[in-house]
Homo-oligomer: A and B are copies of this chain.
Amino acid sequence: MIAEQRLRDFTVKVFKAIGCSDTDADLAADVLLAADLRGIDSHGVARLSGYVRLWESGRLNPKPRVRVVHETPTTATVDGDGGLGLVTAPFAMDIAIEKARQFGSGWVAIRNSNHFGIAGYHALKAVAQEMIGYALTNASPLVAPTFSSERLLGTNPICYAFPAGSYPPVVVDMATSAAANGKLEIAERAGKRIPDGWVLDVEGQPTTDATAVKKGGALLPLGSDRNHGSHKGFGLSAIVDILSGVLSGANYGPWVPPFVAYLQPVAGQPGQGIGHFVGAMRVDGFRPVADFKANMDQWITRFKHAKRVDERQSVIIPGEPEYEAALDRQKNGIPLVEAVQEDLNKLASKLGVDLL
């Protein structure tokens, strides 16, 4: 267990060591720490060495000139100048929020960026202003569309965040694949097989081999197979890819550059970097905030008290477990698995930063 502040200070130092400005290092650390606090350990400091390797390979600009390249009163396109998505996405979300403040809503597409951490961080920035937040990103191609075995899409998350009254915000933050890649790694380490419907092998056949994606297979879209709606998961992933990649002028489909530095982007890229899409809408652009929140509370209460299939398990309100994890971890510290701690300390030695 490690105190939030200690992990935060360490993370800031690492980002400064690769050349980020003080402001950018603080911001990037805040995004990563939010994942660790909210219990989304796969997207927190466990990824820090990945960002550093991307920098080492010359594919991450630590001092980007992030700028608006196209604009209307409520839309904009931001060029991330090859910097951290952890920095470009909050920059873009601030613009969306300011546009929403002035005109009711704001929407920003981002190109020439890198991995932006958890989508929920960005969407929740809008909630803090009594707005509805929206955040999407495309990602390294790992998912095959229905009827194909080729990796053409990322796990492309969709996130909406809504303010509530006496409850925490409702945050739907979900990959559009049936399962996340991290779940395969957990099963592999435990020597277990995975459920049917998560992956295809390299021949395009269903398999329960947890190492299938490593061996050239692909993740399946949400829905798993045609009979259970995998074309819908493919459709959702396509929406994310088009809004994040095509609309911004970033790469899309198989051309999205991989997050891992040991894989090279494929040739003939049509755009720049990876793409995100963020937005904000004022709640009071539609109805008074108090009325909306009262109804949100009723919605949440009703779903929490839904009839249970198993008496021991109630319906989970999206965002509530993450909110509770953050309360707990702010107070009691963040659990780091040994492998991550070792990885971070190797990073520290390499960059001349104090060990964790």
Contacts and interface: CB of A to CB of B under 8 A. Distances in A.
Interface string A201-245: 000110000000000000000111001110111111011011100
Contacts of A318: 231, 234-235, 238
A73 interface: yes
A307 B241 contact: no
A350 interface: no
B109 A228 contact: no
Please classify how large the interface on chain A is, using the bins under 10, 10 to 19, 20 to 34, 35 or more: 35 or more
B270 A295 contact: yes
Contacts of A281: 75, 107
A178 B229 contact: yes
A197 interface: yes
Interface in A272-295: 281-283, 285-287, 291-292, 295
A178 B223 contact: yes
Interface stretch (A2-10, A12-20, A248-256): A248-256
Given A233-B222, A281-B75, A254 B302 contact: yes
Interface stretch (A58-66, A81-89, A309-317): A309-317
Interface in A118-145: 132, 144-145
Given A222-B233, A253-B302, A308-B147, A170 B248 contact: no
A24 B205 CA distance: 51
Given A172-B236, A222-B233, A295-B246, A148 B308 contact: yes
A247 B286 contact: yes
A67 interface: no
Contacts of A72: 103-105, 282, 285
A239 B160 contact: yes
A253 B172 CA distance: 16
A191 interface: no
Given A223-B223, A253-B302, A228 B195 contact: yes
A225 to B, nearest CB: 9
Contact of A145 (B204, B205, B315): B315
Contact of A295 (B149, B205, B228, B252): B252
A267 interface: no
A170 B238 contact: yes
A178 B299 contact: no
B313 A147 contact: yes
A113 B222 CA distance: 31
Contact of A248 (B107, B148, B287): B287
A332 interface: no
Given A73-B73, A286-B75, A178 B307 contact: no
A174 interface: yes
Contacts of A205: 309
Contacts of A306: 144-145, 147-148, 150, 152
Interface of A: 70, 72-77, 103-105, 107, 109, 132, 144-150, 152, 158, 160, 162, 170, 172, 174-176, 178-179, 195, 197-198, 200, 204-205, 222-224, 227-229, 231-236, 238-239, 241-243, 246-249, 252-254, 270-271, 281-283, 285-287, 291-292, 295-296, 298-299, 302-303, 306-310, 313-316, 318
6 contacts: A132-B247, A148-B309, A204-B307, A204-B309, A253-B299, A270-B298
